[in-house]
Structure 1
Amino acid sequence: MSQTPPPSGEMPFIEHLVELRDRLLKIILGVGIIVAILLPFSNNIYAYFAKPLISLLPMGTQMIAIDVASPFFTPMKLILVLAIFLAIPLILYHFWAFVTPGLYKHEQELIFPLLVSSTLLFYIGAVFAYYVVFPMIFSFMVSTTPDGVAMMTDIGRYLDFILTVFFAFGIAFQVPVITVVLVWLEVITPEHLTEKRAYIIVGAFIIGAILTPPDVISQTLLAVPMLVLFEIGLFISRLVLKKKRQRQEAEEMYDNDYHPLTTTEMDDALKKAEEEDKRLRGEK
């Protein structure tokens, strides 16, 4: 089966490296600008992310800083991670601009929507973790604190905890994208995924137990959305696979109807045409 060549010609390897360097510098510059904008508000931003826990702590208790430099470095770490998080659209734009010239048209039609949907799903996963998961987890932890024990969490460890949960939910919400890609690459079929649904359910809860804190609530809150997103991805993958097969059938029909002439066949055809022209003119 023939394939349409990529839309643009090949670039020398050095030019690829130069372009990659330029785009990486632009990404670093973009992240740096976001850091500079957020830096004056670092303490307020940290307070916002600490609110789900602080709002549930008993009156008179607060978070603490075990290390001497934690009050400075912990908000700075949050700002850097948040800047990268907010710069994801910029990062994906430069990634897309870099790889697009080497992609076929039908690959561009699939990859661009996947990049956009992957970004949105990552953001949705993080928002879901902040507004749904954190209140339930922290409420459970505060309510189970033994009498006589003051829950005073270190700000550095708290930040590590919430970043881990953010990352876990952001990755877990990529299930539809992963499902579509695997089906499009024909690594697996929608029918096979449907047959293995029971194993996928068990696997979702196992992943929830690995990626989240050791409690049933957070495990369930991660596993259930993953299963819902899996069903959405399964539905979309059927549509994508159907479209891919239709395109392949169209290309096969085109190949059967049209066979490009080789150089030899072209020369023979020209000779025959010249001979026929001479015959019609009465020339020998």
Structure 2
Amino acid sequence: MKRLKFNPVLYISTIFHNNIKKFSKRKSEVNNNEDELSLFWHIQELRKHCIYSIIWLAFFSSISFVFMNPIINFLEKPYNNSIKLYKNNLLTQNLSSISIFEVITVNFKICFLIGLSISLPFILRELWKFIVPALYENEKKIAQVFIVASVILFYTGIAFGFYLVIPYFFSNALTWSSQYAHVMITYENYFNSLIILIFIFGIVFEIPVILSLLGMAGLISSDLLKKNRKITFILCFIIGAILSPPEVLSLCLIALPMYFMTEISIYFIKKIEEKRMLIEISKS
């Protein structure tokens, strides 16, 4: 039987290799544990901020419920002002209800949506607290600008829709409908239409924020929007024609703000592109 010779170099290298394998295995286990802890921490933080957001929503919805009667009277003003123009028998003067629970369910829906609208800045603040640890300083400034701008534009859109567009919308819609039939507007139909129109304008006024984010992501450019101005203009009027009664003033009150928001977006995207170009030049 042949006797194996002892090789010290091979022995040391084997021990070193085995220790490296053990260390790598131990390090991967530690990293996995750290990843699990990090994921658990993020889930806990997200859960906490979601709970706070729900609390804010519940609080402002409850406040809206307490002041339900003044809120309903305020929201009925566009309808009440519109029916004053008509003194014929083709229009029901008061809102009607065809279900026992219609008024109750609509009132709760209104309180919830008002609570959601009022609590929006607080919900966004909770979102900000969750994402801010992962942002760099320059990203924090950009995110703050977008959050503040989105809140201001949303409320501006709601105010624009309620005070300028909706009175003309209901007046012209009633003018058109009452020529052909006895108009009986139900409680649910009126408030559903009112809520949809209000939130449409809230979203329309968010167009600069949405397009600016797409511009920052490189998905669109200011040149692309400039080249397609005519198509954008036509699309705005098509959407306005779908949402408005067949009357020119209502159509313009919906389509023109949409197009104006697009033009504002072009300006902001152009500024973003110029700043990005300056950063690239400074790096080079």
Specify if TM > 0.5: yes
Note closer, same or farther for the CA distance 1:16–1:215 as it changes in structure 2 (3 Å cut).
Answer: farther
- 1:204 Cα shift? 1.4
Which has the greater radius of gyration? 2
Which AA in structure 1 matches 2:80? I
Output the CA distance in 2 between the equivalents of 1:177 and 1:50: 31
8 Å Cα contact 1:31-1:83 kept in structure 2: yes
The Cα offsets for residues 127-177 of structure 1, whole Å up to 9 and x where unpaired, read as 111111111111112223445844331111111111111121111111211
> Which residue, out of 56, 66, 76, partners 1:50?
76
> Which residue, out of 204, 210, 220, partners 1:172?
204
> Which residue, out of 148, 151, 158, partners 2:183?
151
8 Å Cα contact 2:173-2:245 kept in structure 1: no
Equivalent runs, 1:28-47 vs 2, <5 Å: 28-47=54-73
TM, length-normalised to structure 1 = 0.79
1:218 equivalenced with 2:244 (yes/no): no
TM, length-normalised to structure 2 = 0.79
8 Å Cα contact 1:43-1:75 kept in structure 2: no
SS in 2 for 1:248: helix
SS in 2 for 1:22: helix
The Cα offsets for residues 181-236 of structure 1, whole Å up to 9 and x where unpaired, read as 222222222122211111111121223334x2443443321210111121122112
SS in 1 for 2:46: helix
- 1:31 Cα shift? 1.2
Can you give the 5+ residue segments of structure 2 that lack an aligned partner in the other structure?
1-33
- 1:14 Cα shift? 0.7
SS in 2 for 1:56: helix
8 Å Cα contact 1:208-1:219 kept in structure 2: yes
> Which residue, out of 72, 89, 92, partners 2:104?
72
- 1:122 Cα shift? 1.1
Output the CA distance in 1 between the equivalents of 2:213 and 2:204: 15
Output the CA distance in 2 between the equivalents of 1:147 and 1:180: 45
Output the CA distance in 2 between the equivalents of 1:200 and 1:84: 31
Output the CA distance in 2 between the equivalents of 1:26 and 1:241: 37
1:12 equivalenced with 2:38 (yes/no): yes
Output the CA distance in 1 between the equivalents of 2:112 and 2:76: 16
1:227 equivalenced with 2:259 (yes/no): yes
8 Å Cα contact 2:62-2:111 kept in structure 1: no
1:27 equivalenced with 2:53 (yes/no): yes
2:171 is matched with: 139
Taking only aligned residues, the RMSD between alpha carbons, in angstroms, comes to: 2.1
**Count of matched residue pairs:** 243
Note closer, same or farther for the CA distance 1:186–1:54 as it changes in structure 2 (3 Å cut).
Answer: same
Which AA in structure 1 matches 2:55? L
2:273 is matched with: 241
Note closer, same or farther for the CA distance 1:147–1:230 as it changes in structure 2 (3 Å cut).
Answer: closer
Equivalent runs, 1:230-269 vs 2, <5 Å: 230-250=262-282, 252-253=283-284
Note closer, same or farther for the CA distance 1:15–1:47 as it changes in structure 2 (3 Å cut).
Answer: same
> Which residue, out of 195, 202, 211, partners 2:234?
202
1:279 is matched with: none
Can you give the 5+ residue segments of structure 1 that lack an aligned partner in the other structure?
1-8, 254-284
